[in-house]
Structure 1
Amino acid sequence: MGWDAAERTEQVVGSRERLPFLDKDQLDQRHFEAMEQLRVLYGYPEGMPLAPFFATLAHSPEFFAGYIDLGVTASIRSALPARVRELAILRTGWLHGAPYIWGEHVHSSRDRVLSREDIERITQGSQAGGWDELDRAVLRAAEELHANSMIGDETWNLLASHLDARQLLELPIVVGHYVMTAYVQNSLRTRLTDNNPDGLETR
């Protein structure tokens, strides 16, 4: 699915957030333990305030902790190569018109894991020219999961020629995590961070 980037970003984040942020004095031990994982993962200084999404997600301490655990696992404990992971996340974010996911992962992966040309082509998907076999299969897997809730046989077989059993298992888990994230962030109209001013832009 293609989006007009500016229109979609305005639709999702152009209005006020639907739930208020929680202040630090409203958090409990489960929040603080999960926040510490985030701080270590991203190298944040101690005492740094929660990003808008997490300050809203904190309305549910149980889901907050579980969500952070899965997110940390997807980010630093997954066996998927970083390029495979970011291709899958960004294609999923684009398909779901998710400005927060898209912008954050463009910021974190551009000129490190993916080139600027890669990021532009992700908006076109697996049919764009210039992908190698694994890249194309990863993008197609995200597209098939979006369209049909499963990876087709041809795509699976291509992936299996490059990835081991653990990586094959983790790919749809990572995609599913970011589908859930898109549902929540888009529905909450989560404010974009300073690192992500443009949402669904590719620059």
Structure 2
Amino acid sequence: MRLGPLTELSPEQAELSARITARRGGTRGPFLVWLRSPQLCEKVEALGAYCRFESALPLRLRELSLLVAARHFDAQYSWNAHIDKAVDAGLERAALERLARGEDPAFEDAEAALLHRFATEVLTEHLVADATFAAGLEAFGEQGLVDLIGALGNFSMLAMLLNTFQVDLQPDRRPPFPDLRGYTRV
């Protein structure tokens, strides 16, 4: 990681770290960076918790939105942290492996295919086609679409933080995909 370890926490950082650990089982990965800005960390953690645990979208689609953003930004830490959760939530591992390779995932699950199309249009085109929007509105409802955009924004911010600060991959995990831009971590 580009930043050294936090050796001493302020009372505000310690209290926040304890809350993160209680909700997420530990203060690790991106939170070791965000703790350096405690007020931002608190707000980002709350938004992330809503997107992951409380959103109007079903769990498998919440996990998929995270993986689509992770793959879009080549955020390997996020991918590694969530691939098994996504499979446990009901997504097809083979489709996710295709997504990791940068291929069309060809989801058999129609909602997963639609979410992937919607999210990909937002992230790559910065707009959503009328037909995709209408299908998303019918499938996910107004709150579901608003929650999806919020999740994509949150997970994109997470990916940018992980990549910018070169947060170390989990010790038991390998890089899930190459960085398509040719960047090599040193």
TM-score by length of 1: 0.77
- Could you tell me which amino acid in structure 2 is paired with residue 122 of structure 1? L
Comparing 50-59 with 163-172, greater Cα deviation is found at 50-59
Comparing 117-126 with 71-80, greater Cα deviation is found at 117-126
Q: How many aligned residue pairs are there?
A: 177
Alignment-derived partner of residue 169 in structure 2: 192
Q: Determine if the alignment matches structure 1 residue 98 to structure 2 residue 81.
A: no
Partner SS for 2:88: coil
Where does the alignment leave 5 or more consecutive residues of structure 2 unmatched? 178-186
Q: Percent identity?
A: 23
Q: Determine if the alignment matches structure 1 residue 34 to structure 2 residue 7.
A: no
- Contact kept, 8 Å, 1:34 with 1:68, in 2: the verdict is no
Alignment-derived partner of residue 8 in structure 1: none
- Contact kept, 8 Å, 1:159 with 1:168, in 2: the verdict is yes
In structure 1, how many angstroms separate the alpha carbons of the residues matched to 2:111 and 2:92?
16
Return the offset for 1:124: 6.0
Larger RCO: Structure 1 or Structure 2 (Cα < 8 Å, ≥ 6 residues apart)?
1
Map of 1:1-203 to 2, 5 A cutoff? Answer: 17-23=1-7, 25-29=8-12, 31-42=13-24, 44=25, 50-123=27-100, 127-194=104-171, 197-201=173-177
In structure 1, how many angstroms separate the alpha carbons of the residues matched to 2:91 and 2:105?
15
- Could you tell me which amino acid in structure 1 is paired with residue 4 of structure 2? P
Q: Relative to 1, partners in 2 of residues 1:126 and 1:161: Cα closer, same or farther, differing over 3 Å?
A: farther
Return the offset for 1:80: 0.9
Per-residue CA deviations over 1:58-109 (Å, capped at 9, x if unaligned) read 1111111111111111111211101111122111111111101111111332
Partner SS for 1:191: coil
Return the offset for 1:138: 0.5
Where does the alignment leave 5 or more consecutive residues of structure 1 unmatched? 1-16
RMSD: 2.2
Partner SS for 2:4: coil
Q: Relative to 1, partners in 2 of residues 1:112 and 1:78: Cα closer, same or farther, differing over 3 Å?
A: closer
Alignment-derived partner of residue 181 in structure 2: none
Return the offset for 1:117: 1.8
